């Protein structure tokens, strides 16, 4: 006889979260191998002795880890995802009938903690990977990608120039780049609000930009829909008041946006991330590589390892030798060959 399932909610249940989550559940196993109790001491300075209790620091960082594993960048979506999983609830320490923190709590806590706390967490995970034999050391792969900044091009402001610079050049640039949505708060410091260089350098760069703008303007006139053309922007003449460190950059086939340049180093043995760092998007990869390699080498040497080969694409090749001072008496020198960087 065909069955038809009908649910009849009960007033009381005699079952626990431990019983519902399988023993081989991923998050149950993850909870056993990653110890985060040290976070309580590391985050003590961010809290007072009175007032309402905050979100548990361990819960916050576990949520960040869940978001990374599942590629969830929205705090709202992250809370929804965590609420819907029994395994994740067990991982976070929230019972079936407990409400998870508000998404705004996650956002505020992320802003509260300093960069050093996140670095300490990275080092803790790195050491656990070392203990498990997941990092070999000799061969590291480096690559970068643009990370979209939390800022809009419509809020870009034009940088101030020296009074002696020809005003008509500045006015021509201003005419094409008036902020559509001015920022309520300008977070940029005085240096970021001013154009670099002396009078002569500023005048030369403004003339070059003005010539480029006029050429682009002429090209736009011959294109359909020219009345809705994009704005002419440059990092030399503009800055973001909401995110002063963001830079204008262009991805192939896409319009320019505000980005950061994220650099990642990966150990090729088990594809473990060994270094992660963000840079401004107006610097070439080959320059970022020096900083990445220096810090990565120091981390590996701390654990008795050395880099023998770096794998990178042609964007990192400058045609010169890359000298990276080590922590020992010797210097590690790498020759960029376009696709790999071998130690000499």
Query: For 258-284, what is the mean pLDDT?
Result: 92
Percent of the chain residues topping a pLDDT of 70: 81
| 67-76 CB contacts, 8 Å cutoff, 24+ apart | 75/103, 75/104, 75/106, 75/107, 76/103
Reduce the DSSP state of residue 73 to 3 states and report it: coil
The Cα–Cα gap between 95 and 69 comes to 22
Reduce the DSSP state of residue 147 to 3 states and report it: strand
Query: For 325-343, what is the mean pLDDT?
Result: 46
The Cα–Cα gap between 57 and 65 comes to 12
pLDDT tens per residue, range 10-57: 888 788 889 999 999 999 999 988 888 889 998 999 998 888 889 999
Bridge partners, 260 (sequence order): 147, 280
pLDDT at residue 321, as a whole number = 46
pLDDT tens per residue, range 244-267: 999 998 877 777 889 999 999 999
Answer whether 90's CB lies under 8 Å from 31's CB: yes
Residue 158 binned pLDDT confidence (cut-offs 50, 70, 90): confident
Residue 325 binned pLDDT confidence (cut-offs 50, 70, 90): very low
Reduce the DSSP state of residue 331 to 3 states and report it: strand
The Cα–Cα gap between 192 and 328 comes to 38
DSSP 46: G
Q: At what angle do helices 103-112 and 75-83 cross, to 10 degrees?
A: 120
Query: For 199-227, what is the mean pLDDT?
Result: 69
pLDDT over 60 (residue 337): no
The Cα–Cα gap between 42 and 60 comes to 13
Answer whether 101's CB lies under 8 Å from 126's CB: no
pLDDT at residue 2, as a whole number = 82
pLDDT over 50 (residue 226): no
Closest CA to 78 of 93, 90, 57, 63: 63
More reliable by pLDDT, 273 or 206: 273
DSSP 44: G
Domain boundaries, the chain: 17-45+53-120, 134-149+260-343, 153-222+230-245
pLDDT over 80 (residue 323): no
First to last CA, the chain: 77
pLDDT over 70 (residue 91): yes
Cα-based distances in Å from 13 to 10, 100, 142: 7, 21, 52
Burial class for 81, CB neighbours closer than 10 Å (0-12, 13-18, 19+): middle
pLDDT tens per residue, range 110-125: 989 978 889 988 998 8
Question: Structure tokens of 214?
Answer: 């006029």
Q: What is the pTM of this model?
A: 0.74
Q: Which residues contact 248 (CB under 8 A, 6 or more apart)?
A: 153, 156, 233, 234, 235, 238, 256, 257, 258, 259, 281, 282
Q: Which of 143-147, 190-194, 230-234, 338-342 has the lowest mean pLDDT?
A: 338-342
Residue 338 binned pLDDT confidence (cut-offs 50, 70, 90): very low
Answer whether 209's CB lies under 8 Å from 234's CB: yes
The Cα–Cα gap between 73 and 70 comes to 9
pLDDT at residue 95, as a whole number = 92
Largest CA distance in the chain: 93
């Amino acid at each position: 006889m065909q069955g038809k399932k009908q649910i009849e909610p009960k007033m009381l249940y005699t079952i626990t979260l431990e019983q519902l989550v399988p023993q081989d559940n991923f998050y149950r196993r993850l909870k056993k191998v990653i110890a985060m109790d040290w976070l309580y001491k590391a985050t003590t300075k961010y809290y007072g002795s009175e007032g309402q209790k905050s979100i548990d620091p361990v819960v916050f960082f576990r949520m960040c880890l869940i978001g990374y594993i599942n590629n969830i960048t929205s705090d709202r979506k992250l809370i929804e995802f965590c609420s819907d999983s029994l395994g994740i609830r067990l991982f976070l320490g929230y019972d079936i009938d407990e409400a998870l923190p508000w998404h705004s709590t996650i956002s505020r806590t992320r802003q509260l903690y300093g960069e050093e706390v996140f670095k300490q967490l990275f080092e803790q995970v790195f050491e656990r990977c070392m203990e498990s034999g997941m990092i070999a050391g000799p061969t590291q792969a480096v690559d970068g990608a643009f990370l979209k900044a939390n800022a809009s091009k419509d809020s870009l402001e034009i940088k101030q120039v020296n009074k002696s610079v020809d005003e008509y050049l500045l006015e021509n640039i201003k005419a094409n780049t008036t902020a559509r949505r001015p920022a309520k708060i300008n977070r940029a410091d005085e240096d970021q609000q001013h154009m670099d260089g002396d009078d002569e350098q500023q005048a030369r760069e403004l003339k070059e930009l003005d010539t480029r703008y006029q050429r682009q303007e002429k090209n736009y006139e011959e294109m359909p829909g020219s009345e809705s053309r994009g704005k002419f922007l440059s990092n030399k003449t503009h800055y973001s008041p909401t995110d002063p460190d963001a830079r204008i950059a262009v991805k192939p086939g896409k319009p320019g946006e505000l980005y950061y340049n994220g650099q990642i180093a990966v150990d090729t043995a088990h594809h473990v991330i060994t270094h992660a760092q963000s840079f401004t998007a107006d610097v070439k990869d080959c320059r970022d590589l020096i900083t990445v390699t220096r810090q990565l080498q120091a981390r590996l040497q701390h654990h008795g390892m050395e880099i023998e080969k770096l794998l990178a694409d042609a964007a990192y090749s400058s045609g010169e030798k890359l000298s990276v001072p080590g922590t020992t008496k010797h210097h590690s020198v790498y020759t960029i060959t376009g696709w790999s960087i071998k130690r000499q």
